[in-house]
Amino acid sequence: MRIGELARAVGTTARALRHYEQAGLISSERAPNGYRVYDEQAAVRVRNIRYLLAAGLTLDDVRVFLPCLDGDVAAAPPSGKGLRVALERLAILNERIAVQTEARDRLEAALREKTGDRIRPVA
């Protein structure tokens, strides 16, 4: 299938597919006219990539899962390396959330001080 067909089949964009290909996560053949052509298994692989990205992993993190991207990633037992990557990403996300929460709390306190505790959401 061509790139547009694959993008529609998995609910993403051709740009995202080219990005995954550039990252080495998917591959295609070239038709005589230069168009990218993907096999049917590419849809499974892209769905798995999107599943892992939606879980909070990065494309670099997803590379660890290359050996199992053609199967059912969600149902497969996790590997030790996969668990390590996921736990490291969770720690990074938790740290970012903590930093953002602190910033929000400081801003809210400053606004409460300046407005006499009358904070109203901006529409």
22-59 pLDDT, tens per residue? 999 999 999 999 999 999 999 999 999 999 999 999 99
All domains of the chain in start order, with CATH: 3-115 (1.10.1660.10)
CA pair distance 97, 60, nearest whole angstrom: 21
User: So what's the pLDDT on residue 36?
Assistant: 94
In degrees, rounded to 5, the angle at the alpha carbon of residue 49 between the alpha carbons of residues 47 and 55 is 105
Please, are residues 43 and 9 in contact by the beta-carbon 8 Å criterion? yes
Eight-class DSSP state of 25: S
* pTM of this prediction exceeds 0.95: no
User: So what's the pLDDT on residue 122?
Assistant: 66
How much is the average pLDDT of 81-101?
96
